Structure 1
């Protein structure tokens, strides 16, 4: 049996403060457990959630510190704050797409195995993919 090695990453002071970065707080559907989601357009893959907006922002601060520390630990740069809400077209937060039945089945199986809704799983996978692409 092999044992996993867990690397501890030291928390570092970010080059820009949390407040310098725009963030978006979105309400999560009741069928996905409710609460709120916080994302940072300038920091791909950096996100968190919470039961209410205050909890979500507090968790977002933790996610921000962790994201910055992990990124610097891996030798990557931290993007400068850039995103401004007035530069992005208004969006509803709803996205609909068609998938082959085989892909839909695989997603449904994985969501069930992870104990999350299909929407939550797809949101996590999309955010992860966007984070990798921007890295």
Structure 2
């Protein structure tokens, strides 16, 4: 079975940080975008390998949304 997960990638002076909102605690980092993408794929594979079938079903049914929201600064 295939499922698409959202991956959030952030960049700052120390490198790249990635996490998967659907998979609590699934996160990684890397010095480059290629490295963080490779690392998050490995983290996702490891995370999936620890789950029971019922947990996988629950995650697959979960709906996660992202949006933009204007805010006042200052």
In structure 2, distance between residues paired with 1:52 and 1:44: 23
Q: Which runs of 4+ in 1 moved over 2 A?
A: none
Choose 1 or 2 for highest CA Rg. 1
After superposition, the Cα gap between the structure-2 partners of 1:76 and 1:36, relative to the gap in structure 1 and judged at 3 Å, is: farther
Q: RMSD between aligned alpha carbons?
A: 2.3
Kindly indicate whether structure 1 or structure 2 has the higher relative contact order, using CA contacts under 8 Å at least 6 residues apart: 1
Q: Which structure carries more strand by proportion? A: 2
Question: Aligned pair count?
Answer: 67
Residue 2 of structure 2 is matched in structure 1 by 16
TM-score by length of 2: 0.73
Matches within 5 A, 1:66-105: 66-72=46-52, 77-78=55-56, 79-80=59-60, 82-85=63-66, 88-90=67-69
TM-score by length of 1: 0.43
Residue 58 of structure 1 is matched in structure 2 by 38
Q: Which structure carries more helix by proportion? A: 1
Alpha-carbon displacement from aligned partner over 1:4-50 (angstroms, at most 9, x marks no partner): xxxxxxxxxxx434xx001100114x3xxx11111111111111111
